[in-house]
Amino acid sequence: MTTEHMIVEIAKKARRASRQIAAAETREKNQALLRIAEMLDASEADITAANQKDLEFAKEKGLTSAMMDRLKISRPVLDAMIKGLEEVAALPDPVGETARDWVRPNGLKISKIRIPLGVIAMIYESRPNVTVDAAALCFKSGNCALLRGGSEAFHSNMILADIIGAALDASGFNRNIVQVVPTRDREAVTSLLKQEEWIDLVIPRGGEPLIRFVVQNSTIPVLKHYKGVCHVYVDKTFDMNQAVDICMNSKTQRPGVCNAMETLLVHEQAAGEFLPVIMTELQNKNVEIRGCEKTRALFPHVKKAETKDWHEEYLDFILAVRIVDSMEQAMDHIEEYGSNHTDVIVTNDDKRAETFVKNVFSSMVGVNASTRFNDGGELGLGAEIGISTSKLHAFGPMGLEELTTTKFVVKGSGQIRT
């Protein structure tokens, strides 16, 4: 069987299984999720053995220790998977909800009812815990999952799929509801991206090259974000404590994630008071600064920011700083260099905050709050399968509801169109 043929077969199997999971009761789904959790717990030895194969192979290939670390399923990582399953089981089920309803003048009762998307393919790198997290979120929202992790996590993902499959089976579900692509062959990804007849959505997660590859090659709708170039803009009137807390939290609490601040914009009337304070704090945390000309006029020791710095997602203890002469210039900067991800204003002026909120079109626009809140859990969506900066379907964190759509249900008593 060729790789392409195999991919068509697993995609068709997923499509056929999708009716069962779409119609399943919430209670049945939750029981199955908890059973997966139990069976993962009971299978630690098997998981560790499979994971060991991946780790040995990775060592031979010369992966960095950071990459090895992401690949390893230690007991705390397994516990986090189990806890994730329990949390998803506890979340409300969006399927079957009435999103809206109304009655037409001719008596037709219209409602928009929430239904699953159908079959969701995830393409991701390294971390095998994504396999379990993604399976849980797709399953709870009534969807089939086709999972393709990084080739270096192949054995880990296959054993996780086996355990999930056995738990589904034991719970009366078709095991094709969650499938891991059973090959390392790279051609499998290209084939998967062409199965628009059987797959409703592709979610890539990983570095920008992976995501660009998926967008270039997919005929299936894709939800993705390339990068998070997030800004904090400190306005001319501001609260010093708030501004310092927000900037430090946005930059240094976890610099390696997409909702960390990458560029700080400061109104020129605020610069004299604010910059000396924040510079000291940032230096205490060993944050490297790259500044605009005006910043360097105040702080001559600061490295010069080049144009490419304004585009950069450092994901590190590095920060670009620019002094702007107006809020309009700050908004222009965000429009030109931003990535529609997360942008925040710190201001004491409600009216100016409103203008900023109205004119910045990012998935999260914040007022006097850290950029780090752009996260499914923090915003109250429960869990998230990723953050979208595509404006179609979902813009921002994607929780269970974002893995569903709505259909129109029309109830009549013989109405016809005239």
- 396: contact with a copy of itself by CB under 8 A: yes
* Member of 80, 170, 315, 379 binding a copy of itself (CB under 8 A): 379
* 299 dihedral zone (left: phi>0; alpha: psi -120 to 50; beta): beta
* Member of 7, 50, 189, 246 binding a copy of itself (CB under 8 A): 246
DSSP 8-state secondary structure symbol assigned to residue 285 = T
The residue assigned the tokens 């192979």 is 57
Q: Closest distance between a copy of itself and the C-beta of residue 7, in Å?
A: 18
Reported in sequence order, the residue ranges of 90-240 that DSSP labels E, i.e. its strands, are: 98-103, 109-116, 119-124, 144-148, 178-180, 201-205, 230-234
Q: How far apart are CA 53 and CA 128, in angstroms?
A: 13
* Member of 374, 382, 383, 399 binding a copy of itself (CB under 8 A): 374
* Member of 154, 198, 233, 395 binding a copy of itself (CB under 8 A): 395
CA dihedral 145, 148, 152, 157 (to 10 degrees): 20
Closest CA to 274 of 242, 230, 319, 312: 242
Q: Closest distance between a copy of itself and the C-beta of residue 99, in Å?
A: 11
- 76: contact with a copy of itself by CB under 8 A: no
Q: How far apart are CA 195 and CA 228, in angstroms?
A: 29
Tell me which amino acid residue 373 is: F
Q: Of 90 and 410, which CB lies nearer to a copy of itself in the complex structure?
A: 410
Q: Of 6 and 215, which CB lies nearer to a copy of itself in the complex structure?
A: 215
Q: Closest distance between a copy of itself and the C-beta of residue 300, in Å?
A: 31
Reported in sequence order, the residue ranges of 151-250 that DSSP labels E, i.e. its strands, are: 178-180, 201-205, 230-234
Stretch that binds a copy of itself, among 31-39, 130-138, 151-159, 376-384 (CB under 8 A): 376-384
Query: How many of the chain's residues bind a copy of itself (CB under 8 A)?
Result: 70
* Member of 2, 74, 219, 237 binding a copy of itself (CB under 8 A): 219
Q: Are strands 386-388 and 396-398 parallel, antiparallel or unpaired?
A: antiparallel
Stretch that binds a copy of itself, among 185-193, 285-293, 319-327, 358-366 (CB under 8 A): 358-366
Q: How far apart are CA 322 and CA 297, in angstroms?
A: 12
Q: How far apart are the first and last CA of the chain?
A: 54
Residues 2-41 that bind a copy of itself (CB under 8 A): 19, 22-23
Binding-site string for a copy of itself from residue 175 to residue 204, where x marks contact by CB under 8 A and - marks none: ---------------------x---xx---
What lies within 8 Å, CB to CB, of 277 at 6+ separation is 240, 244
Residues 95-124 that bind a copy of itself (CB under 8 A): 96, 102, 104, 108, 110, 113, 115, 117-118
Structure tokens at 290: 């790259």
DSSP 8-state secondary structure symbol assigned to residue 110 = E
Count Cα neighbours of 164 within 13 Å in the Cβ-side half-sphere: 30
Tell me which amino acid residue 416 is: I
Stretch that binds a copy of itself, among 65-73, 173-181, 227-235, 402-410 (CB under 8 A): 402-410
- 239: contact with a copy of itself by CB under 8 A: yes
Q: Of 45 and 416, which CB lies nearer to a copy of itself in the complex structure?
A: 416
**Binding site residues, a copy of itself, CB under 8 A:** 19, 22-23, 96, 102, 104, 108, 110, 113, 115, 117-118, 196, 200-201, 215-216, 219, 221-223, 239, 241-242, 245-246, 248-249, 253, 335, 353, 357-359, 361-370, 372-374, 378-380, 390-393, 395-397, 405-417
